[in-house]
Amino acid sequence: MKHRGKDGRAPTAVQMHQRIIILGFMGSGKTTVARELARQLEGTHVDLDSFIFDREGRSAAEIIKEDGEHQFREVETLALRDVLQNSEARVIALGGGTWTIPANRTLIALHDCATVWLDAPFELCWTRISNTQTDRPLAPNHQTARARYDSRRADYSLAQQRVEVNEPDTAETLARQILSIT
């Protein structure tokens, strides 16, 4: 059972200095919100895709296109394991598919992190996906991206917390909301 504070309530993730994992579909704002959340916590953050790029010398998109998604998932799981084991970062932003892999969810559970799903509507994600330079081979067109979005929701809903993302929400507002619930 979790240790309880003076008021009898279980301490929050923030009080326990637990790490916070940000997950959600491509374009939901994981990287920006994780950066802002770390700033508000006066800590650091790691973006898993950037970590992979720094280590492999290739982006997630390049690995997927050159070696296939299966190979990328292996690289991603090893990267996640190393970040969880070695990084002091207070906030970790996953890639859009990381949380959908059961082994990755197990790793995260073993490290006792707070998990937060940024639940953004598909059209908002799609607008962002199609308007940025970031290459996303797993969302090549509206139809494929939509099918992937729908098929992943059940996995995303396994996160401990869900934060609804609407178009006008800023990273600052979303980070404050996450701090109030974790």
Q: Which residues of this chain interact with ligand S3P, rule CB under 6 A?
A: 26, 30, 49, 60-61, 64, 95-97, 136, 138
- Looking up tokens 């073993």 gives 110
CB of 175 to ligand S3P, least distance (A): 17
Q: Which is nearer to ligand S3P, 49 or 119 (CB)?
A: 49
Query: How near is the Cβ of 111 to ligand S3P at its closest, in Å?
Result: 20
What six digits make up the tokens of 16?
Answer: 């326990």
Q: What are the backbone angles phi and psi of residue 28, rounded to the nearest 5°?
A: -80, -15
Query: Considering beta carbons, is residue 2 or 133 the nearer one to ligand S3P?
Result: 133
Give Cβ neighbours of residue 56 (< 8 Å, ≥ 6 apart).
63, 75
Taking the least distance from each CB to ligand S3P, the nearer of 1 and 154 is 154
- Looking at the Cβ atoms of 26 and 37, the one nearer to ligand S3P is 26
* 124 vs 139: CA distance, rounded Å: 14
Q: How far is the CB of 104 from ligand S3P (least distance, A)?
A: 11
Rank residues 20 and 64 by Cβ distance to ligand S3P and give the closer one.
64
Continuous H helices in 14-170:
30-40, 48-56, 60-67, 69-86, 102-110, 122-131, 142-156
Task: For the beta carbon of residue 168, count every other beta carbon within 10 angstroms.
Answer: 6
Question: Least CB distance from residue 106 to ligand S3P, whole Å?
Answer: 18
Minimum gap (Å) between residue 132 Cβ and ligand S3P? 9
Q: In what helix (H) or strand (E) does residue 74 lie, and over which residues does it extend?
A: helix 69-86
Cα-based angle 168, 173, 179 (whole degrees, multiple of 5): 145
